[in-house]
Amino acid sequence: MRLERRPYVPLAYAIVSPLAAVLAALLLAGALIAAAGVSPLAAYGEMLKGALGSRLAVTEMLARATPLILTGLAAAVAFRARLWNIGAEGQLYLGALVTAWAGHGFVSTLPPLLGIPLLMLLGMAAGALLLLGPTALRLGFGVDEVVTTLLLNFVAVLFVGLMVEGPLKDPMAFGWPASVPVASDLRLPDLIPRSRLHIGLLVAVGAALLVWLANARTVWGAESLAAGLSPRAAAFAGVSLPRTLLGTATLSGGLAGLAGAIEVLGSTGYVTTTLSPGFGYAGIVVAMLAGLHPAGVVAAAVFLATIFVGADAMSRATEVPSFIADVIMSLSLLSMIVALLLATHRLVR
Amino acid sequence: MTGALDLLLTASLWAAVLRIATPLIFGTLGALLCERAGVLNLGIEGIMTFGAMIGWLAVYQGADLWTGLLAAGLAGALFGLLHAWLTVPLGLSQHVSGLGITLFASSLSYYLYRLLVVVGESPPTIQPFRPLPIPGLSTIPFLGEVLFDQAAPTYLALATVAVLSYVLARTPLGLAIRMTGENPHAVEAQGLNPIRLRTGAVVAGSALMGVGGAFLTTVAFNSFFPYMVQGRGWICIALVVFSSWRPGKALLGALLFALFDAYQLRLQNAVPGVPYQLFLMAPYLLSILALVLVSRRARVPEALMAPYRRGER
C-alpha cells in the first residue's frame, strides 16, 4: 500500500478537511478536559457561551480575531512562496512599537484621516524590515530563515522591553513598564458602540480581500506561487527568485507589522511586552487551517478567536486551565496536515 | 574594565560555562542525530519544554532524580515518534510538523502544569541534583572546580558526545544513519530500511532533547515555570548548522555559546548602567551571526527535508 497524489482535489475535500481536523482536535482535547475532572460537553458549552453567547462576547471574539486575520495572512502569503516566516510575533511587536512611538511623537498632531493611515504604514514598514533582513540573509548567504526569524522574535520582544523601560517609558504609568500612549485622536473608532471592537476588523478583512486579489490577479501572485511550488522551475521560466521573495517578505512582514499597529491603535493605545499572547505563532496555525487561502484565513481566525475567548470564559467557570485553547490550536494544526494529506492523496494497493 | 577581564579568569565562570552548556549539548546532539538521518526536528523547543515539565513533575511526585530524567527521555521519544510518523512514512512538511509538535508539546506542558499549580501560587520546588565531585580529580586547582565538580547529568552529556561521535563515525549503524540522510535510495539498495532508520534516529534524538529540557528543572533551577526554555531549542538548531553536523564541533559550539552567556550574565553586574535587555539579546544575535558565518560553506546532509518514498525519485 502506498499514497498516490490525486490528479485533482474536489472542492468538497478542501472544505471538509479543516472541519474534520478541528473535530479531531476537539475530541482529543476533550480527553484532556475529562482528565481535569470536567465533562467535555459542559466545558465546550461554556466555551461557546463565552465566545458567542452575548453581544459583548461576540464583539470580544471579533476583536481577538482581528490581529489573527492579519498574522494568518502574513504566514499564508509567505508559506505560499515557501518563505518560512515564523517571525510574525516579532514583526508584530516592532510594528506596534513604531506605531506607539510615532503616534505619541511626530504624527500626534496630524488630523486622524492622515495620521491613522500613516501610522499603519509605519507599522507595516517596521514589520517588513524585520523580515527583509532574514530574507536577504537567505538569498545572500543561504541562512535558513526559519531559525533567524524565530530567534528575532526574542530579540524584538527584548527590544520592546528596552524601549518601554527606557526612552519610550510612560512617566504617567506609575512604574508599570508601558510605552507612551498614542494621541487619543489617532485611536481607531469603535465599530460597535460600547464594545472593544474597532474598525481594525474592517481593515483586516479588507487586507484579506486585497491579498486574495494579489494572489489571483497579479504577476507577483503567480510568481510567488511558482517560487513556492518549484523554485528551480520558476527560475527556469524567468521568475527572479530574489525579487519575488523580497516582495513576498515585504508583504508578509508588513501584514504582521500592521497587526501590531492595529492592536495599539484599536485596542491598547500603548505597547507593553505582553501586548501579544502569541498572535504571531497562532497566525501559522490560522494559515495552515485555511489552506493558505485568504478567505479561509478569515474563517480560521474567527474559529481560533472563538477557542481563545471561549477558553478564558471556560476556565473562569470550570477547573479547566485556559491553556486548553493552545492545546486545541496545536492539535488542529497537526490533524490538519494529516487531513490535507488524505484530501490530496489516495491509498493504492 | 579590568574587572570585566578578570571575570574571564575565575574558575566559577568556567564551571558555569559547562553547566549552562549541558542542556544545549543534549539538545544539539538530539537535533544533529535527527538531521543526520535526514529529518529536521523543529519540535525541539516544545520537547525540551515538556522534558523540563515532566522531569520536574516526576521528582515532585516523589520519584528519584534519575527517574525524572528517564521520564523526560521517554516523553521526548514519544513526541519524536509522532514527528517521525508524520514526516517519514507520511512524508509531510518537516517544518510544519515540527512547529506543530513544538506548539503541542509546550501547550500540553503548561496545561498539565496548571492542573497541578494554580495561577499565582509560587512554583513548587524540588531538591535538584547536587554537584558530584570526582574523588581525587576535583581537588586539582582550577581544573578540578571547572571539570570535576559538576552535577552528574553534565558528565552524562559529555559521555553522550563521545558515544554519539563514535557511533556515527565508526559503526555500521552510524554509517547507515548518515547514508539515510545523504541518499536513502542507496540505503534501500543495501537492503536496509530507510523508514526505520529515520524513525529510530528521530525517536532517539528527541529523547536526548527531552533529557536536555529536564536538566533545566532538575539541575539548573529547582522548579518548572511556563516559558522557561526561552528559545534554547532554536539555539540548538542553529548550533547544529554551526557544528557542520559533527558531535565534537557541536560540543565546541555549545561551550562557546555558554561562555558568552555566562560572561554576559556576570557583565550585567560588573557593568552597571547598560540596559539588561541588551545583554539578553546578545545570545540570539550571536546565533544569527554564527549562522551567517558558516551557512555558505555548510555541508548540509544531502537528503535533509526530502521525504523518502519507495520507488519514487
- Domain-located, residue A148: yes
- Domain-located, residue A179: yes
Specify the pLDDT at position A206.
98
Angle (CA) A12-A17-A19 rounded to 5° is 100
Number of domains in chain B: 1
Residue A55, number of CB atoms within 10 A of its CB? 10
In contact, B100 and A337? CB cutoff 8 Å: yes
Is A146 in the B-facing interface, judged by CB distances under 8 Å?
Answer: yes
Residues of chain B in contact with residue A35, where contact means CB-CB under 8 angstroms, are 115
Q: What is the mean pLDDT of residues B3-20?
A: 83
Specify the pLDDT at position B312.
64
User: What per-residue string of b and e applies to B252-276 under the rule 16 or more CB within 10 Å gives b?
Assistant: bbbbbbbbbbbbbebeeeeeeeeeb
- Please give, rounded to a whole number of angstroms, the shortest distance from the CA of B154 to a CA of chain A: 26
- Domain-located, residue B68: yes
Residues of chain B in contact with residue A80, where contact means CB-CB under 8 angstroms, are none
Q: What is the mean pLDDT of residues A311-337?
A: 94
**pLDDT score of A349 more than 80:** no
Range of the domain at A139: 77-280
Residue B175, number of CB atoms within 10 A of its CB? 16
- Domain-located, residue A344: no
- Please give, rounded to a whole number of angstroms, the shortest distance from the CA of A186 to a CA of chain B: 30
Specify the pLDDT at position B146.
82
pLDDT digits (tens, 9 = 90+) for A265-290: 999 999 999 999 999 999 999 999 99
User: Which of A29, A338, A291, A33 has the alpha carbon at shortest distance from B100?
Assistant: A338
Residues of chain A in contact with residue B107, where contact means CB-CB under 8 angstroms, are 323, 326-327, 329-330
Q: What is the mean pLDDT of residues B42-69?
A: 96
- Residue A173 pLDDT level (bands cut at 50, 70, 90): confident
In contact, A259 and A307? CB cutoff 8 Å: no
CA–CA gap between residue A282 and residue A304 (Å, rounded) = 8
- Name, of A185-194, B64-73, B131-140, the range with top average pLDDT: B64-73
Q: What is the mean pLDDT of residues B93-108?
A: 96
* Average confidence score pLDDT of chain A: 94
**Max Cα-Cα span within chain A:** 71
pLDDT digits (tens, 9 = 90+) for B128-173: 999 888 888 888 888 888 888 899 999 999 999 999 999 999 999 9
- Please give, rounded to a whole number of angstroms, the shortest distance from the CA of A26 to a CA of chain B: 13
Q: What is the mean pLDDT of residues B80-84?
A: 98
Comparing A349 with B33, which gets the higher pLDDT? B33
Specify the pLDDT at position A1.
66
- Domain-located, residue A11: no
Binary contact (A142, B285; C-beta < 8 A): no
Strand partners, A269: none
Binary contact (B241, A159; C-beta < 8 A): no
Specify the pLDDT at position B247.
96
Q: What backbone torsions phi and psi does residue A9 show, to the nearest 5 degrees?
A: -105, 120
User: Which of B240, B241, B234 has the alpha carbon at shortest distance from B298?
Assistant: B241
Query: Can you tell me the ipTM of this complex?
Result: 0.94
Specify the pLDDT at position A68.
98
Percent of chain A exceeding pLDDT 90 equals: 82
pLDDT digits (tens, 9 = 90+) for B253-289: 999 999 988 888 888 877 778 888 998 898 899 899 9
Residue of A147, A162, A285 lying closest to B234 (CB–CB): A147
- Residue A247 pLDDT level (bands cut at 50, 70, 90): very high
Q: What is the mean pLDDT of residues A74-93?
A: 97
- Domain-located, residue A120: yes
- Domain-located, residue A37: no
Q: What is the mean pLDDT of residues B48-56?
A: 97
Specify the pLDDT at position A145.
94
- Residue B3 pLDDT level (bands cut at 50, 70, 90): low
- Residue A311 pLDDT level (bands cut at 50, 70, 90): very high
pLDDT digits (tens, 9 = 90+) for A59-77: 999 999 999 999 999 999 9
Specify the pLDDT at position B142.
84
Specify the pLDDT at position A224.
93
Number of domains in chain A: 1
Is B103 in the A-facing interface, judged by CB distances under 8 Å?
Answer: yes
Range of the domain at B37: 2-118+132-295
Q: What is the mean pLDDT of residues A44-60?
A: 94
- Residue B302 pLDDT level (bands cut at 50, 70, 90): confident
Specify the pLDDT at position A319.
86
- DSSP structural state of residue B228: -
pLDDT digits (tens, 9 = 90+) for B219-228: 999 999 989 9
pLDDT digits (tens, 9 = 90+) for A114-157: 999 999 999 999 999 999 999 999 999 989 999 999 999 999 99
Comparing A260 with B147, which gets the higher pLDDT? A260
**pLDDT score of A6 more than 90:** no
Specify the pLDDT at position B148.
87
Specify the pLDDT at position A114.
95
In contact, B154 and B161? CB cutoff 8 Å: no
CATH number at residue B64: 1.10.3470
**pLDDT score of A175 more than 80:** no
Its pTM stands at 0.94
Specify the pLDDT at position B275.
87
Is A3 in the B-facing interface, judged by CB distances under 8 Å?
Answer: yes
pLDDT digits (tens, 9 = 90+) for A218-239: 999 999 999 999 888 998 988 9
Read off the C-alpha cell for A226: 511558482
Q: What is the mean pLDDT of residues A245-267?
A: 97
Extended strands (E) in B166-234 = none
- Residue B311 pLDDT level (bands cut at 50, 70, 90): low
Is B230 in the A-facing interface, judged by CB distances under 8 Å?
Answer: yes
